[in-house]
Amino acid sequence: MIKKIAVLGAGTMGHGIAETFAMYGYSVNLFEINDNIRTTVKSTIRTELQFLEENDFITEEAIERALENIQLYSELRPCVEDVDYVIEATPENIQLKQNLFKELDQYCKADTILASNTSSLALEDIMMLIGEERKKRTMVCHWYNPAHLMPIAELSFFGNTTETVYNEVENLYKKIGKQTVKVLKDVPGLVANRIQQGVAREVFSLIEMGVAAPADIDKALKFGPAFRYATTGQLEVADLGGLDIWCTVGDNLLSVMDDRKEANPILRQKVSENKLGLKSGEGFFSYPAETVEEIKKKFNKKLIVQLKASQNYIE
């Protein structure tokens, strides 16, 4: 049974993963080599937890309990040598991850389960330098950002692990309120990111063709398909509408829709102009510096509302 957890990397994803496990009562060792990040990460987590409390998602007492459950480490070995489950959220560099997992194989207990938060690197490549027995206890466990609010967790079942190991990890994620997706094949992007990129490709294409303004395209998605997707998956939507209808519409539309194999030129142009979105102050929309924090709070508040609502329709 998984009781003690180590999270490697305290950046955007790692701190949110650690925060989530800690909120649900797990003891978490959080490893971070960057001194600045390590010294400020608990303050970052506290701010996020306070926002949850302000929006009636957790209690004030739960904030202190969660923070007490997190121990910070600057050295890898003492962070992982006595834990039951390790998940890394380090940069998407294959050599870095290969060497990291090699060290984990040496430092961790024989029965410790290792996991990567990657969605773009192949698990087989990540496991290249670890022993055969450890490979049987190694998985991809992919979270969505922000990790403490997005309920999805994609869990790999690629053939290297047993059903017993998979079930142990799935039970862990269910205990922290995650909706798990069992991924059977190691494909780039796993499941959710591939679906998201399919939608994004057509959205960027519509802007490129001048079919509608960016605000209207987003409105079409939010109050059209995405409105249903909040409660109903694509396959269920197709069944409800009639597969004959979907077949006919597919024949009529797919041949004239975007099928390019690389990022849309309009994205490359934005990047070349340093119009990167919120981080630079302008993307498809403008973000004055004085509004950035309020925009982030508004976005997260919407996620909290949706997360609460989702508890009513989870089957």
The token duo for 88 is 């890394």
Comparing CA positions, the residue from 37, 26, 38, 31 lying closest to residue 8 is 31
Q: What is the pLDDT of residues 115-132, one digit of tens each?
A: 999 989 999 999 999 999
Q: Which pLDDT value is given to residue 315? A: 63
Residue 232 has pLDDT above 90, yes or no: yes
Band (pLDDT 50/70/90 cuts) for residue 313 is: confident
Percent of the chain with pLDDT over 90: 97
Distance CA 198, CA 275 (A): 22
Contacts of 194 by beta carbon, 8 Å cutoff, 6+ apart: 187, 188
Q: Which residue has the tokens 């079942």?
A: 157
Query: What is the pLDDT averaged over residues 13-20?
Result: 98
Q: What is the pLDDT of residues 24-64, one digit of tens each?
A: 999 999 999 999 999 999 999 999 999 999 999 999 999 99
Q: What is the pLDDT of residues 137-169, one digit of tens each?
A: 999 999 999 999 999 999 999 999 999 999 999
DSSP SS3 for 27:
strand
Comparing CA positions, the residue from 66, 47, 56 lying closest to residue 308 is 56
- Tell me the C-alpha to C-alpha distance, in Å, between residue 187 and each of 87, 158, 237: 20, 10, 25
Q: Which pLDDT value is given to residue 240? A: 96
Average confidence score pLDDT of the chain: 96
Q: What is the pLDDT of residues 164-201, one digit of tens each?
A: 999 999 999 999 999 999 999 999 999 999 999 999 99
Residue 311 has pLDDT above 90, yes or no: no
ω into 288 cis (within 30 of 0) = no
Q: Which pLDDT value is given to residue 28? A: 98
The token duo for 310 is 């989702």
Strands (E) located in 89-247: 113-116, 138-143, 152-156, 179-183
CA 215 to chain centre: 26
Percent of the chain with pLDDT over 70: 99
